[in-house]
C-alpha cells in the first residue's frame, strides 16, 4: 500500500494546531518540530511545514470530502461559529455534481468541504 502526504507551506504551526486539531478534529500523526502531519482516517495524510520554500500557492486547495449533504452543512455550521468571518452557504455545483463551500484556514490556505452527489 502506498500512503500519500500532501505538504503545505505555513507560517505559524500554532494556527495549524488550533484549526486542524481543535476545529476540524484531525488526529496528529507526527510532530516533526517544523512540520505537523495529520492522519486523514486511512485516506493519506496532510502536512504543514514552516521550512518549505517561501510563498503559499494561491492555486492550491485542500478538499475534504464528506459522505452526505448533512455532514457538509454541519461542518459549515461549526466553521461559521468558530471563525470570525462570513462564510458563504454551501451550494450545489451542477458542472461537477457537488454540494460544497469554501473557507480559508488560519494560515490563509483555501479549503473546500464537499460531497459528491452525481
C-beta of residue 86 within 8 angstroms of C-beta of residue 76: no
CATH of the domain at 97: 3.10.180.10
Q: Provide the terminal-to-terminal Cα distance of the chain, rounded to the nearest Å.
A: 28
Q: Quote the number of domains for the chain.
A: 1
The tens place of each residue's pLDDT in the chain, 118 residues long, gives 566 788 898 999 999 999 999 999 999 999 999 999 999 988 889 999 887 665 555 557 888 989 999 999 999 999 999 987 789 999 999 998 999 999 999 988 889 999 999 8
- The pTM for the full model equals 0.78
- Asked if 54 contacts 47 with a C-beta cutoff of 8 angstroms, the reply is no
Range of the domain at 75: 5-116
Q: 32-61 burial by CB neighbour count: b if 16+ within 10 A, else e?
A: eeebbbbbbeeeebbbbbeeeeeebeeeee
Amino acid at each position: 500500500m502506498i500512503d500519500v502526504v500532501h505538504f503545505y507551506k505555513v507560517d505559524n504551526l500554532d494556527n495549524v494546531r488550533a484549526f486542524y486539531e481543535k476545529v476540524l478534529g484531525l488526529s496528529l500523526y507526527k510532530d516533526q518540530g517544523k512540520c505537523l502531519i495529520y492522519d486523514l482516517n486511512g485516506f493519506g495524510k496532510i502536512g504543514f511545514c514552516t521550512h518549505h520554500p517561501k510563498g503559499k500557492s494561491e492555486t492550491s486547495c485542500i478538499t475534504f470530502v464528506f459522505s452526505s449533504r448533512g455532514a457538509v452543512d454541519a461542518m459549515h455550521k461549526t466553521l461559521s461559529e468558530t471563525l470570525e468571518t462570513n462564510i458563504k452557504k454551501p451550494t450545489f455545483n451542477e458542472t461537477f455534481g457537488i454540494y460544497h463551500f469554501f473557507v480559508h484556514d488560519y494560515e490563509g490556505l483555501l479549503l473546500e468541504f464537499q460531497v459528491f452527489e452525481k
